[in-house]
Structure formats: C-alpha cells, structure tokens
Amino acid sequence: MDWGAIELGGRPVTEAEEMLQQAERTAREADVAIVAVGLNQDWESEGYDRDSMKLPGKSDELVQRVLAANPRTVVILRSGTPVELPWVDHCQTLLQGHYGGNQFGNGIADVIFGARNPSDRLSVTYPHKYQHNPAFYNWGHEGNKTMYGESVFFGYKHYDAADREVMFPFGHGLSYHSSVISDVEIQPLKTTSSIANTPVAILSFMVQNAGKVGGRKSVQIYVARSGGIGRFPEKELRDFIKVEQLDGGCW
C-alpha cells in the first residue's frame, strides 16, 4: 500500500521590504541584536536533495542588513547541513544550533546568557561556497547522475588533500573557556591489532581548563601517514573523547 501526505498552513501576507526595514530599525535601537535563520523539514530531510546551499528566501539579506544596522549581533543558524554564509566575515557571533527539538529556544537562550558553556564540535566541514564540495565535480556527466569519484577523499579529507581553505573545518567549535593540552605521550606496545596486523600504542595527555568558567573539552585524535598521502587521506580521525566538566583553572 502506498502512503502520501500533504501539509497545509498559512501566514499573514507581508511585504518583504517592509519587514526588512522593521528588522533594521529594531536592531539599530537595541544594545545587542539576535537574528535567527536556517532551514527546516521543508528544505532538507531524508530522501531528497537540496537544490542549493543557500539559505531560503531573503535570509541572507536579512542578516546582512541587521549586521549593518548593529555590529553587535548574534546570528543563530538552524540547519542539519552546511549552508553558504556570504556575510560571515562581518559577523562577530555565530551560533550553530542544528535541530534541538522542543527545547531548542531554551537551550540557545542558556548559551547566549551564559547559563551553559557550549562545547560541541562540528561534525561536518563548512566550505566557502557550493562549488568547493568534492561531489560538485562529479555531477552531470551522465544526465542527472552523480558519479561517486571521491573515493576516500570526502569531507575534511577532501579539503586536506586539495589544500583548500574552508569557512569552518571539521571538528571546529568555541567555548567560553580555553583549554590547554600538555604532556602528550605515546607508548608503543609489543602487541598488534587484529585489524590488518597494525601496531598498537597507548596515548596519554593532560587537559587543563585555562579559563575562569567551568566547561568541557572535546579532544580529537587524528592519525597521519608518513611519506605522502598517495591514495590515503593526509590524516584521519581515529578517536575522540569528551573530558567532562572541568572547573576553571583545574586539570
């Protein structure tokens, strides 16, 4: 049996330019402005592709005009995938919220007002523009088909191999505190892994919260091959660990 669905909705008729001007006036009069943009299930979901990496409608123009009216603007981005951000160089504060469910607004408010210290790291790479994606080069060679030509060079591995600058790299993220990693030691073991008979080692390190605010630290562990990349990525994420709540100044 086949199933189908239709979504019905409505909203007041508004003039885009009038709303943009209102946003500018409000931002200009405020000490700090907050503008939220992004996507939802109408623009991205499982089972179909987006036809653009741009934010919908006049979202970019809204952000640009609010930033021009008040540089002290917090931009909240809600999306499950990367989007183009042509205004990012003029933005002092950008908060990627992804899809936080029913408590999304409360969670964002806690971060903005300092009740919670953010510690997440990006699980994707944000390129500067759509054309920098690895799959872009493999589209349209055979009608509407995309040839899978990236091999293992997808995501951050592609950008490493291409030596291409990105907007926000895989694993990037900021917090209200700074962390210091020290005393890194690698102790090789005499045993080998059952996977391809590879060597095994123990990695140890110390993590210090060098700030005054308690927070968490995501430590990412990458493995690199010596002697050039060849058909292998320059480096690969092999493990990560989140060091739980560290008080300011503590190890």
pLDDT of residue 172: 96
Q: Which domains does the chain have, with CATH numbers?
A: 16-112 (3.40.50.1700), 179-246 (no CATH)
Lowest mean pLDDT among 35-39, 96-100, 181-185, 227-231: 227-231
Q: Are 96 and 141 in contact (CB under 8 A)?
A: no
Burial class (CB in 10 A: 0-12, 13-18, 19+), 177: buried
Query: What pLDDT is stored for residue 228 in this prediction?
Result: 57
The reported pTM is 0.86
- Dihedral sign of CA atoms 97, 49, 164, 64 in order: negative
pLDDT given for residue 40 in this prediction: 87
Provide the mean pLDDT of the chain: 88
Quote the pLDDT of residue 227: 65
Q: How far apart are CA 123 and CA 126, in angstroms?
A: 10
